[in-house]
Amino acid sequence: MRNKPALAIFSFSHLVVDFACFYVLMGVFSSGAGSSQLVVAGFLLYNLIAFALQVFFGIVADGGKSAHGYYAFLGCIVVLLGVSIQASPWIHLVTCAFGNALFHVGGGIDSLVHAGGRYARSGVFISFGALGVMLGTLVGRGALLPFGAVSLLLIICSALIYIFCRQPKAHNEAIFSLPPARVSLPAMVIGLCLISIIIRASVGAYTPLFERGTTLRFVIPAVSVFAGKFMGGFLADRFGARLVVVISLLVSAPLLAFGNTQVVLCCTGLFLFNITTAVTLCVVFSHLPAHPGFSFGLTTLALFIGSSFSFFWLMPEGIRPFLTVTLVAASVVCLALATPGKSTRHTVAAVAENGTNTRFSL
């Protein structure tokens, strides 16, 4: 795993950025927007900007000359502005959402181009967002920290990124040398992965959690999501992506469908269900090796699409278990076709030495 100090900085900053955004969403916007309908509309707008816009920011980052660290640095500064300005709740929300999108593009590119041919780095970076969302929700609701403390955290992250993560823009360092997937057409592989991501976001949005009233029972599911995303890449590197994602999804389906009232069953299901996160991202990128920002943005666009269904349709509880199992089964089929088996070897090209673009082969 290349450039470990940068991974640590980006991962910590990911936690802080998502923490700050949800601190604003829960502590400023939700209490100041007015009606519950406006709050729901605001959260949908936040998701639209923070997730869907990453595609366009990713295209800009791929085509520009600036290193990806600049986008992450700028994202931290914009979120800092969204936290500290004196303005309407909607201005706070929109500003934080734009900063969130910019940061994720910069950090996401880093997680891909320094992957060293493995899934683990992307999983580590992505996972810390779940902790940030959980902590920001708790602290924002309870007003447990002043704005100055949140701003200080963002200033620290901005300084760390500016000092340590502004390496000149370079070619990708990661080459996946893996057995072929069962589907070889790149566009079809990407499409299957994006369908799986849409399903993951949709099922996650519709999965009711047990007794949301207690803090501990809010924290435990979030930690389970974090652990699944964190471990998914390591498990895929060790045992092969196809085996890991298929087994994890198959086991998670009944747990998510029928075990949401039981702490152990629910959290086990959430852990297993999120194991696919790093795999789908890396497989998409492997077929768009010159476009890491666009690749990352495609996956977050799919997340936005999947999560948006819950804003417009209230799923009847009677059909939720059946629909959950059906959707997860469809995701199993998608990833069984699109993901490679166990890696036989990993190689990393020192691109700067030969002056050529790296090429991914799945």
Q: What percent of the chain lies above the pLDDT cut of 70? A: 89
Mean local confidence (pLDDT), 327-344: 89
Least confident of 142-156, 234-248, 291-305, 339-353: 339-353
Would you state the pLDDT for residue 34?
74
Domains of the chain listed by start with CATH number: 4-338 (1.20.1250.20)
Mean local confidence (pLDDT), 104-131: 95
Q: Which residue has the higher pLDDT, 298 or 180?
A: 298
Q: What is the mean pLDDT of the chain?
A: 88
Would you state the pLDDT for residue 282?
95
Does the pLDDT at position 121 exceed 90? yes
Mean local confidence (pLDDT), 70-80: 97
Does the pLDDT at position 217 exceed 70? yes
Mean local confidence (pLDDT), 168-188: 71
Q: Which residue has the higher pLDDT, 116 or 235?
A: 235
- What are the structure tokens assigned to 104, written together? 């994720």
Q: What percent of the chain lies above the pLDDT cut of 90? A: 71
Would you state the pLDDT for residue 355?
34
Mean local confidence (pLDDT), 324-344: 90
Would you state the pLDDT for residue 351?
34
Mean local confidence (pLDDT), 65-86: 94
d(CA 223, CA 35): 31
Asked whether the beta carbons of 226 and 127 are under 8 A apart, the reply is yes
Least confident of 38-52, 85-99, 162-176: 162-176
Segment 12-39, tens digit of pLDDT: 999 999 999 999 999 889 887 778 889 9
Mean local confidence (pLDDT), 67-89: 95
- What are the structure tokens assigned to 151, written together? 């701003």
Mean local confidence (pLDDT), 127-134: 96
With tokens 């469908």, the residue in question is 257
3-state SS record for the chain: CCCHHHHHHHHHHHHHHHHHHHHHHHHHHHHHCCCHHHHHHHHHHHHHHHHHCHHHHHHHHHHCCCCHHHHHHHHHHHHHHHHHCCCCHHHHHHHHHHHHHHHHHHHHHHHHHCCCCCCHHHHHHHHHHHHHHHHHHHHHHHCCCCHHHHHHHHHHHHHHHHHHCCCCCCCCCCECECCCCCCCCHHHHHHHHHHHHHHHHHHHHHCCCCCCCCHHHHHHHHHHHHHHHHHHHHHHHHHCHHHHHHHHHHHHHHHHHHCCCCHHHHHHHHHHHHHHHHHHHHHHHHCCCCCHHHHHHHHHHHHHHHHHHHHHCCCCCCCHHHHHHHHHHHHHHHHHHHCCCCCCCCECCCHHHHCCCCCCEC
Confidence of residue 349 (pLDDT cuts 50, 70, 90): very low
Mean local confidence (pLDDT), 330-354: 67
Asked whether the beta carbons of 151 and 333 are under 8 A apart, the reply is no
Torsion 291-115-57-37 (CA) sign: positive
Mean local confidence (pLDDT), 234-256: 96
Asked whether the beta carbons of 26 and 136 are under 8 A apart, the reply is yes
Would you state the pLDDT for residue 314?
86
β-sheet bridge partners, residue 175: 347
Segment 257-294, tens digit of pLDDT: 998 778 889 899 999 999 999 999 999 999 998 899 99
Q: Which residue has the higher pLDDT, 347 or 144?
A: 144
Mean local confidence (pLDDT), 314-318: 86
Q: Which residue has the higher pLDDT, 144 or 90?
A: 90
